[in-house]
Amino acid sequence: MKTNNVFFTAILMASSFLITVGSYAQDRKGPPRGGGHNPEQTKTLEEIGGYKIGDVATDFKLKNVNGNMFSLSDIKNAKGYIVVFTCNECPFAKMYENRLIALHNEYAPKGYSVIAINPNVSESNQNESYGAMQKRAKEKGFTFVYLADEGQKIAPQYGAVRTPHVFILDKERKVQYIGTIDDNARSAEDVKVKYVENAIKALEKDEKPNPSFTKAIGCPVKLAYN
Amino acid sequence: MKLQKSILLLAVSFLPLCYGFITENSELESTYLSSNEDIPIYNFESLKPLLNTNSDKVHIVNFWAMWCAPCVKELPILKEYEANNPNVEILLVSLDFPENIETKLKPFLKKKGITSKVVLLDDPDANSWIDKIDPNWSGAIPFTIIFNNKNRSYHERAFANLQDLENEINKTIKDN
C-alpha cells in the first residue's frame, strides 16, 4: 500500500510537471526560430532612393569620434569597405556592436574595414550627440571609426533607412551588398546565415555576393528629408 | 525497498519544480481576465492569417515597437481613430523582445491607455518574411497595413495626424 502511494505520488508529480512544461511550450507559437527561408530579395532600394547594387558610392569627409576627419580614401590598400549606418540608442544597433567589432578585427587586416556612420547624430538629442558617440565608442572599445553624419548628408545618398544598415563597397567603391549583418539580431549564437561575412568572402574570391540584398527590422533612420 | 527510496527521491526532487510552474501558471491565468494583459507571441507563419480578412470591416495592422520613437508617437492617432470608429479592427504587432513583455510592454500599454489588441512578433530572420508581407517594405517601422476583404494598402511611415490616417483609410477602402 505504501509502495503504491509513493508510486502514485511520483507519477502524479512527474506527469503534472510534464503537462505544465508541455503547456508552456505551446505558449510560444510556431516553428523554430530562424529557419531556412529564401533570403533573396526581389526589390531594390529604388523606391526609397539611394544606391543600387553596382552604383559607385560617394566618398565623404566626416568627423570621427577621435576628433579627426575621416574619408574612405584614408584607408590605404583597401580591398573594400563595410559601411554601416548605426547609432547609439537603437536596440538593434546595440545588439550588433560586438559583432561589428569582431568583423572589423577579422577583416580589416584583410583589407575590409568597418566604417560606422551615425546618421541620427544630433546635438539636441543627448543620447545621439557627438559627445555621446565618443562615450559609446570608448565604452564598447570600438576598433573601427565611428563617424558623425552631421546634417545627414551621407545617409540619404546611400539610402540608409534603418540602423544598422550595411553597404559593402568594393575597391572601386562600387556597391556590392546592401542589407543586414546576419539573420538573427537578438542572438549571435543562433545565427544561421552571416550575410556580410559571406559577401566579403565572395568579394575575396572575385565573385558577386549572393544574396546581394537583404532586409531586416531595424530602427528607422530619423530622416530629415522624409 | 531500494526502488521505493529512489522513487520517493524522484518525487521529492520534482516537487519544487512543480510548485514553481503551478504558481507561475496561476498568476498568468489571473491576468488573462483584465484587458490586454494577454500578449501572445507569434512567428510570421502564425501571424499571417491575421493579415487577411473575409470581412468588409476596416482592418489596421500596425508594426511598431517601444524602442521606435516615431511608432510611439503614432499610437495615440490609432487610438483616437479607434475611439471614433469602434467598428474598426486594430491589431498592434509589437516587435519588442519577448523578455520585455511583463516588465516593459504591459506597463507601457497600461500607461498609454492602449486597449487595441497587441501581439508580439518574434521571428528573428526578418529577411525571410518582410517581402511576404510587402515587397516594398524595407523593414523600417512603423509600418501599417490598411485592408478589408476587397482592398489593401501599405504604409512605411508614421501617420502625421488623425486626418492623415483617415485620408489613407478612405483612399484604400473605396467601395463600402
Domain-wise residue ranges, chain B: 1-33, 41-172
Look-up: residue for cell 505520488?
A: A9
**What integer best gives the mean pLDDT of chain B?**
85
Contact of B15 with chain A, judged by CB distance below 8 Å, is answered with: yes
Residue B138 to residue A219, Cβ atoms within 8 A: no
- Chain A residues whose beta carbon lies within 8 Å of the beta carbon of residue B127: 37, 39, 41, 179-180, 183, 195, 214-216
Q: Is the pLDDT of residue A19 over 80?
A: no
User: Within the 25-54 window of chain B, which residues sit less than 8 Å (CB to CB) from chain A?
Assistant: 25, 40-46
pLDDT score, position A3:
54
Q: Is B8 on the interface with A (CB under 8 A)?
A: yes
Q: Which residue in B4, B6, B20 sits closest to A17, CA to CA?
A: B20
User: What ipTM describes this predicted complex?
Assistant: 0.72
The pLDDT, as a whole number, for residue B11 is 52
CB contact under 8 A, B138 and A161: yes
Cis peptide bond upstream of A211, omega within 30: yes
For chain A, the structural domain boundaries read 45-220
**A84-143 residues touching B, CB cutoff 8 A:** 90-91
Smallest CA-to-CA distance from A174 within A42, A40, A78 is with A78
The rounded distance, in Å, linking the Cα atoms of B88 and B78 is: 10
Cβ of A30 within 8 Å of Cβ of B46? The answer is yes
From chain A, the residues in CB contact with B126 under 8 A are 180, 215-217
Is the Cβ–Cβ distance between B66 and B72 less than 8 Å? yes
pLDDT exceeds cutoff 80 at B56? yes
- In 3-state terms, what secondary structure has residue A58? coil
Mean pLDDT of B45-57: 96
- What are the phi and psi torsion angles at A20 (to 5°)? -65, -40
Q: Does the CB of A32 have a partner CB in chain B at under 8 Å?
A: no
Residues 67-96 of B with CB under 8 A from A: 67-70, 95
Tens-digit pLDDT profile for residues A90-149:
999 999 999 999 999 999 999 999 999 999 999 999 999 999 999 999 999 999 999 999
What is the phi/psi pair of residue B4, to 5°?
-55, -45
Confidence of residue A174 (pLDDT cuts 50, 70, 90): very high
B101 DSSP 8-state letter: I
Rounded-to-integer distance, Cα B166 and Cα A30, Å: 34
Q: Is B6 in the A-facing interface, judged by CB distances under 8 Å?
A: no
Interface test with A, best of B125, B130, B144 (most A CBs within 10 A): B125
B60 SS3 class: strand
pLDDT of residue A9: 55
**Chain A residues whose beta carbon lies within 8 Å of the beta carbon of residue B9:** none
CATH number for domain B41-172, candidates 3.40.30.10, 1.10.3720.10, 3.40.50.11030, 3.40.50.300: 3.40.30.10
Q: Is the pLDDT of residue A22 over 50?
A: no
Residue B108's closest CA among B62, B63, B72, B69?
Answer: B72
The answer to whether the CB of B64 falls within 8 A of the CB of B94 is yes
pLDDT at B19: 45
Min Cα separation B176/chain A (Å): 31
Range list of β-strands (E), chain B: 41-42, 59-64, 89-94, 117-121, 143-147, 152-155
Distance separating alpha carbons of residues B165 and B78, to the nearest angstrom: 8
Q: Which CATH superfamily is domain A45-220 in?
A: Glutaredoxin (3.40.30.10)
B23-59 core/surface letters (b: 16 or more CB in 10 A; e: else):
eeeeeeeeeeeeeeebbebbbbebbeeebebeeeebb
d(CA A220, CA A2) in angstroms, rounded, equals 66
Question: What are the strands of the beta sheet with A112-118, ordered from one edge?
Answer: A69-70, A62-64, A145-148, A112-118, A80-85, A165-170, A175-179
**Which grid coordinates are listed for A202?**
565572395
CA distance A85 to A62: 13
Q: Which residue of B has its CA nearest to A18?
A: B18
User: Of A13, A29, A45, which has the smallest distance from its Cβ to B15's Cβ?
Assistant: A13
Any A CB within 8 A of B10 CB: yes
The answer on pLDDT for B32 being more than 80 is: no
Instruction: Among A11-15, A17-21, A101-105, B109-113, name the one with the lowest average pLDDT.
Output: A17-21
Task: Answer with the residue of higher pLDDT: A2 or A91.
Answer: A91
Task: Note the pLDDT of residue B21.
Answer: 44
Tell me: the pLDDT tens digits for B129-170?
A: 999 999 999 998 999 999 999 999 999 999 999 999 999 999
